[in-house]
């Protein structure tokens, strides 16, 4: 459980059953019924109301699975962290119980685990009636210190008592959390895996009684380290079902820096001797060899040309003044644009050269500011035309008349730059701008122009501030109003820097219109910045704000890579097979002046194989955006290892459009280990109890699709699909789910890259956060053989289990927010043919009955 980067009854009616089966669209009245609201998952656990995040304390006890979870009893945003509680007899149907372990005046109750103290080592119960003991992270409200504490229950988990001797483990650290505890029979002791989050380490401790702990060892840093490490889990599994061949799995959750860019869960396979965990692939990584293009070892940039002043006059040999330590560069020199801090900008460009290899590999670090297609380097001239407002005066007057305000967000006059307690505002022209941060984010209001006639093709303007779209409940946006209706709108990107945006007004010529700047948001990033509103015949182009490395062909950017907000340089790669024989250039760009506004680069090498970053080399439990805080149940009968995770992301978790609840858990997965290509891979499948929700099976005949999309006659908002698809000549092929109303969520395979992908860019509501609209990718080689898919579709999620013929598996989980009418399933192929050789489909019943 982290706050370091993201502070924040069951009913039975025929109508709701039919709605859960996807046979009947919900009426407005039904949509407001608890557990059947719009977007409410119908076979994934959600709390009846309020915010939920990490699953905690997972345990089977006396025929019931106990799911505890991070919970805010008081609202639908993160806060007041306590342990919520739900139980199930089958891992499918859940009953929510009262809050188990509430926060109090001194502490919030963060993530942890629950064990059954069979031998009464704590003395909290008796041998005849042993206690359930929760080992949790206690956040001390007054200091921010995180320490490990105990609570116990002697009535089967219904009521809990905090141990009077808390805390039982305290390092006086603000990044020491999420203990996973289990009984280790060989030493007859309790073992704890707990995260030293900011150090990218998992610490192991042992105890005879859960009260007194001895440090054994640490694991890490290893694998992906782009964000804090959290919620570890350590457990053994047989390999290929052979109990004589056992390996240990260490799951480590990461935020941010996961394979999809935000929150995620990685795992390590290895050995555990009771004291120390050793990963199987713990050796150093050697990138593919090749021909050096630039290693920055000569003491100068050679033929590479620098502009601006960010890169200095020669390669850096380490961290610069004011910079944290830099790691990951090879040799002595590397390109570093931190000269003078984050404010300077510039470029470093290679001479043109002919591509002779399949890949150009290089190391990159620094800020995570990707290249934005269509953006331009430098300050292009402001568009010319009729200025509707430049906000340069002492009042909101303009060439077309006075703009009017409501509320208190915009004050009585334009702001002269950054307002008190605001991060630095940049990108505006002149001295003034409209800035609704007056008195902070809590203030709200509007700023409206006089009416004007649209007589030019474009309306150009500078905009920054919060990302809250005009159609959201609490927008921070600029709107174009015609005939009383909003016909265009734009919002910021959760950044104080203003950048150009433009509306094409070709269809509105001769119309009377008004500009309305709206701040209706009192939460985080609840403000908007606007400047230089111009009617023009020229479309403004956004300024580049990138920090990264680009590949240029004919002067145009064809591939780019950026850092990860880290001073560590990691490998990246450009696929240059399509450019063999062509002249190209490499360009290192720092066009950003905000936070992490610098780039690091080194070791440009032409090679036949790609170099892989540490993130790419890591083993991922899930390649989607919405799988985090993954953990497994203790004491499941038969030795089953069952995992669930928080089906949300810290990138946008507080903004998803659900009410009165926020967040769901993934459907429980049974884990196993399989030997694949000489290595050991963790395999996941939905628990078999899912079958109890199945309706009548639908079998779709085999079909070939060519250059298009074919509906399959399957409909449902809650579905289980099993499909086999065989590649033909198509570049891409796969399934679309939740289709209709112009929406789809695409589960595709790209034959060129050898990747399966999950595309939610057209899945429904995506405009509530700038990071939500996305496509996730996972490597899975088919070699011309079938792709095997198992897909779980719910009201607001898609979980994809994909395998090839060799038994390699990848899993992708994403939230989606489609229209209730979007229930179709299609097969598609792009630029060629592909075959659907099998599709089995089941509608899944609602668990809320």
How many other CB atoms are found less than 10 A from the CB of residue 837?
14
Instruction: Report, as an integer, the average pLDDT of 656-671.
Output: 97
Interior CA angle at 253 toward 638 and 86, to 5°?
55
Reduce the DSSP state of residue 615 to 3 states and report it: helix
List of E strands, 73-130 = 82-88, 95-101, 107-116
Pick the range with the lowest mean pLDDT from 281-285, 290-294, 567-571.
Answer: 281-285
Angle among Cα 59, 65, 70 to the nearest 5 degrees reads 65
Query: Which residue has 């109990």 as its token pair?
Result: 243
pLDDT for 6 beyond 60: no
Write out pLDDT tens, residues 522-560.
988 999 999 999 999 999 999 999 999 999 999 999 999
Q: Please name the helix (run of DSSP H) or strand (run of DSSP E) that holds residue 20, with its range, or none.
A: helix 14-21
Stated length of the chain = 849
The reported pLDDT for the residue numbered 652 is 94
Q: What is the pLDDT of residues 200-244, one digit of tens each?
A: 999 999 999 999 999 999 999 999 998 999 999 999 999 999 999
Residue 758: which residues within 8 A CB-CB, separation 6 or more?
Answer: 623, 624, 745, 746, 747, 748, 775, 776, 798, 800, 812, 814
Question: What tens digit of pLDDT does each residue of 469-481 get?
Answer: 998 889 999 999 9
The residues with which 347 forms a beta bridge, in sequence order, are: 307, 589
Q: Coil, strand, or helix at residue 269?
A: strand
**What is the reported pLDDT for 849?**
77
Kindly compute the dihedral angle of the four CA atoms of residues 563, 565, 568, 570, in this order, to the nearest 10 degrees: -30
Q: What is the mean pLDDT of residues 732-747?
A: 97
Interstrand relation of 189-196 and 703-715 (parallel, antiparallel or unpaired) = unpaired
Q: What is the pLDDT of residue 27?
A: 31
| Cβ atoms 1, 81 nearer than 8 A | yes
Q: Which pLDDT does position 1 carry in this prediction?
A: 54
Neighbouring-strand partners of residue 490: 478
Is residue 814 within 8 Å of residue 624, measured between CB atoms?
yes
How far apart, in Å, do the first and last CA atoms of the chain sit?
31
- What is the distance between the alpha carbons of residues 299 and 317, in angstroms, rounded to a whole number? 9
CB 369 within 8 A of CB 545: yes
CA 204 to chain CA mean position, Å: 28
Max intra-chain CA distance, the chain: 85
User: In a 10 Å sphere around its CB, with 0-12 CB exposed, 13-18 middle and 19+ buried, how is residue 524 labelled?
Assistant: middle
C-alpha pair distances (Å), 422 with each of 3, 440, 495:
21, 8, 11
48-67 per-residue burial string, b: 16 or more CB within 10 A, e: under 16: ebbbbbbbbbbbbbeeebbb
Residue 85 CA: distances (Å) to CA of 73, 581, 585, 662: 11, 63, 58, 16
Tokens of 101: 């372990």
Note the pLDDT of residue 407: 97
pLDDT of residue 12: 26
% of residues, the chain, pLDDT over 70? 96
User: Average pLDDT for residues 382-400, to the nearest whole number?
Assistant: 95
Cα–Cα dist 763/366, whole Å: 32
Give 663-691 as a 3 state SS string.
CCECCCEEEEEEEECCEEEEEEEECHHHH
Average pLDDT over residues 586-613: 96
Give me the active site residues, please. 54
Cβ burial, residue 351 (10 Å; 0-12/13-18/19+): exposed
- In this prediction, residue 20 carries a pLDDT of 30
Calpha distance 28→205 (Å, rounded): 54
Are residues 262 and 647 in contact, defined by beta-carbon separation less than 8 angstroms?
Answer: no
Tell me the backbone φ, ψ of residue 556, rounded to 5 degrees: -110, 145
- pLDDT at residue number 659: 95
Dihedral angle of Cα 560, 756, 493, 308, to the nearest 10 degrees: -10
DSSP state of 254: E
Residue 5 has pLDDT above 70, yes or no: no
Residue 586 has pLDDT above 70, yes or no: yes
Q: Which residues does 5 contact at the CB level (< 8 Å), separation at least 6?
A: 227, 228, 255, 256, 650
Structure tokens at 747: 């589960």
Q: Is the separation of the CB atoms in 80 and 672 below 8 Å?
A: no
**Rounded mean pLDDT of 644-665?**
96
The secondary structure of 404-432 as a DSSP string is EEEESSS-SS-B-SSPTTPPPPBS--SS-
Provide mean pLDDT across the span 783-804. Answer: 98
Q: pLDDT for 326-360, tens place per residue?
A: 999 999 999 999 999 999 999 999 999 999 999 99
| Residue 746: half-sphere exposure toward Cβ, Cα within 13 Å | 22
Spell 697-733 as b/e; 16+ CB within 10 A means b.
Answer: ebebeeeebeeeeeebebbbbbbbbebebbbbebbbb
CA 573 – CA 327 distance, rounded (Å): 19
Buried b (16+ CB within 10 A) or exposed e, 734-760: bbbbbbbeebbbbbbbbbeeebbbbbb
Nearest to 517 by CA among 462, 576, 466, 476: 476
Asked whether 685 and 801 are in contact (CB, 8 A), the reply is yes
Q: Exposed, middle or buried: residue 606 (CB in 10 Å: 0-12, 13-18, 19+)?
A: middle
Q: In this predicted model, what pLDDT tens digit does every residue of 404-439 receive, in sequence order? A: 999 999 999 999 999 999 999 999 999 999 999 999
Q: Which of 63, 95, 98, 64 is nearest to 83 (CA)?
A: 98
Q: Cα(586)–Cα(104) distance, rounded to whole angstroms?
A: 56
Whether the bond into 660 is cis, omega within 30 of 0: yes
pLDDT tops 50 at residue 682: yes
Q: Is 611 exposed, middle or buried (0-12, 13-18, 19+ CB in 10 A)?
A: buried
| Beta pairing partners, 600 | 336, 365
The residue to which tokens 């995040």 are assigned: 53
Q: Identify the burial level of 102 via C-beta atoms within 10 angstroms of its C-beta, where 0-12 means exposed, 13-18 middle and 19 or more buried.
A: middle
Sequence-ordered strand ranges (E) for 224-263? 228-239, 242-255
* Mean pLDDT (whole number) for 39-64: 98
What whole-number distance in Å separates Cα of residue 217 and Cα of residue 362? Answer: 34
684, 688, 692, 693: CA torsion to nearest 10: 10
Q: How far apart are CA 461 and CA 386, in angstroms?
A: 12
pLDDT digits (tens, 9 = 90+) for 195-211: 999 999 999 999 999 99
pLDDT digits (tens, 9 = 90+) for 158-189: 999 999 999 999 999 999 999 999 999 999 99
> How far apart are the C-alpha atoms of 148 and 401, rounded to whole Å?
63
- Of 498, 350, 510, 363, give the one whose Cα is nearest residue 435: 498
The mean per-residue pLDDT over the stretch 516-527 comes to: 95
Nearest by Cα to 213 from 239, 244, 176, 264: 176
Residue 703 has pLDDT above 70, yes or no: yes
pLDDT confidence of 14, banded at 50, 70, 90? Answer: very low
Mean pLDDT of the chain: 94
Q: What SS3 state is found at 241?
A: coil
C-alpha 145/C-alpha 173 separation (Å) is: 5
């Amino acid at each position: 459980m982290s706050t370091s980067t993201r502070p924040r009854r069951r009913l039975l009616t025929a109508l709701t059953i039919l709605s859960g089966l996807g046979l009947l669209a919900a009426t407005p009245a039904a949509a407001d019924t608890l557990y059947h609201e719009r977007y409410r998952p119908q076979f994934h656990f959600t709390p009846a109301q309020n915010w939920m995040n990490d699953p905690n304390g997972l345990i089977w006890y006396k025929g019931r699975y106990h799911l505890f979870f991070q919970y805010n009893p008081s609202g639908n945003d993160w806060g007041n962290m306590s342990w919520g509680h739900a139980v199930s007899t089958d891992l499918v149907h859940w009953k929510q119980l009262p809050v188990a372990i509430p926060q109090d005046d001194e502490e919030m109750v963060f993530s942890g685990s629950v064990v059954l103290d069979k031998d009464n080592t704590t003395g909290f119960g008796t041998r005849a009636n042993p206690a359930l003991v929760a080992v949790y992270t206690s956040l001390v409200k007054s200091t921010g210190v995180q320490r490990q504490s105990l609570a116990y229950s002697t009535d089967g988990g219904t009521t809990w008592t905090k141990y009077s001797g808390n805390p039982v483990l305290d390092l006086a650290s603000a990044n020491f959390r999420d203990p996973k505890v289990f009984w280790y029979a060989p030493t007859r002791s309790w073992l704890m895996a707990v995260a030293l989050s900011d150090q990218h380490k998992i610490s192991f401790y042992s105890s005879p009684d859960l009260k007194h702990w001895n440090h054994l060892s640490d694991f890490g840093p290893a694998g992906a380290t782009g964000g804090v490490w959290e919620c570890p889990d350590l457990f053994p599994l047989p390999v290929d079902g052979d109990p004589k061949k056992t390996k240990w799995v260490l799951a480590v959750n990461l935020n941010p820096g996961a394979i999809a860019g935000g929150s995620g869960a990685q795992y390590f396979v290895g050995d555990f001797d009771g004291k120390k965990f050793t990963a199987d692939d713990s050796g150093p990584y050697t990138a593919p060899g090749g021909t050096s293009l630039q290693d920055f070892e000569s003491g100068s940039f050679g033929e590479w040309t620098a502009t601006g002043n960010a890169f200095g006059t020669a390669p850096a040999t380490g961290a610069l003044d004011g910079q944290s330590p830099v790691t990951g560069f090879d040799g002595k020199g590397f390109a570093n644009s931190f000269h003078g801090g984050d404010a300077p900008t510039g470029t470093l460009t290679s001479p043109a050269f002919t591509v002779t290899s399949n890949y150009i590999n290089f190391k990159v670090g620094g800020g995570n500011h990707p290249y934005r297609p269509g953006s331009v380097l430098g300050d292009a001239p402001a568009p010319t035309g009729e200025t509707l407002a430049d906000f340069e005066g002492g009042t909101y007057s303009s060439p077309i008349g006075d703009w009017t305000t409501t509320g208190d967000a915009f004050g009585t006059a334009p702001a002269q730059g950054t307002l008190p307690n605001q991060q630095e505002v940049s990108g505006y022209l002149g001295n003034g701008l409209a800035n609704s941060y007056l008195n902070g984010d809590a203030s709200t209001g509007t700023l409206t122009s006089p009416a004007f006639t649209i007589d030019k093709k474009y309306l150009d303007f500078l905009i920054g501030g919060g990302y809250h779209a005009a159609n959201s409940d609490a927008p921070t946006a600029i709107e174009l109003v015609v005939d009383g209706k909003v016909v265009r709108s734009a919002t910021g990107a959760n950044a104080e820097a203003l950048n150009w945006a433009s509306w094409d007004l070709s269809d509105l010529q001769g119309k009377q219109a008004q500009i309305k700047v709206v701040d209706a948001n009192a939460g985080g990033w609840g403000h908007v910045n606007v400047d230089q509103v111009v009617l023009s015949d020229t479309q403004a182009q956004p300024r580049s704000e990138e920090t990264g490395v680009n590949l240029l062909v004919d002067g145009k950017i064809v591939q780019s890579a950026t850092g990860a907000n880290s001073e560590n340089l990691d490998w990246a790669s450009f696929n240059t097979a399509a450019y063999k024989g062509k002249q190209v250039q490499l360009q290192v760009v720092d066009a950003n002046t905000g936070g992490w506004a610098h780039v690091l680069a080194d070791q440009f090498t032409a090679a036949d194989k790609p170099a892989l970053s540490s993130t790419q080399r890591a083993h991922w439990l899930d390649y989607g955006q919405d799988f985090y805080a993954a953990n497994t149940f203790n004491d499941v009968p038969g030795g089953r290892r069952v995992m669930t995770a928080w089906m949300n992301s810290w990138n946008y978790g507080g903004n998803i459009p659900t009410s009165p609840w926020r967040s769901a858990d993934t459907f429980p997965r049974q884990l196993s280990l399989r030997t694949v290509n000489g290595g050991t891979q963790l395999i996941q499948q939905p628990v078999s109890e899912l079958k109890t929700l199945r309706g009548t099976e639908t079998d779709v005949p085999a079909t070939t699709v060519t250059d298009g999309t074919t509906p399959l006659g399957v409909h449902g908002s809650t579905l289980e699909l099993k499909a086999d698809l065989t590649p033909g000549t198509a570049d891409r092929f796969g399934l679309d789910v939740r289709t209709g109303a112009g929406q789809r969520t695409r589960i595709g395979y790209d034959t060129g890259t050898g990747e399966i992908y999950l595309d939610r860019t057209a899945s429904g509501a995506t405009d509530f956060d700038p990071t939500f609209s996305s496509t996730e990718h996972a490597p899975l080689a088919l070699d011309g053989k079938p792709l095997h898919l198992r897909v779980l579709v719910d009201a607001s999620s898609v979980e994809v289990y994909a395998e090839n013929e060799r038994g390699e598996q990848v899993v992708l989980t994403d939230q989606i927010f489609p229209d209730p009418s979007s229930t179709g399933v299609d097969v598609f192929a792009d630029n060629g043919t592909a075959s659907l050789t099998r599709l089995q489909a089941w509608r899944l019943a609602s668990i809320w009955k």
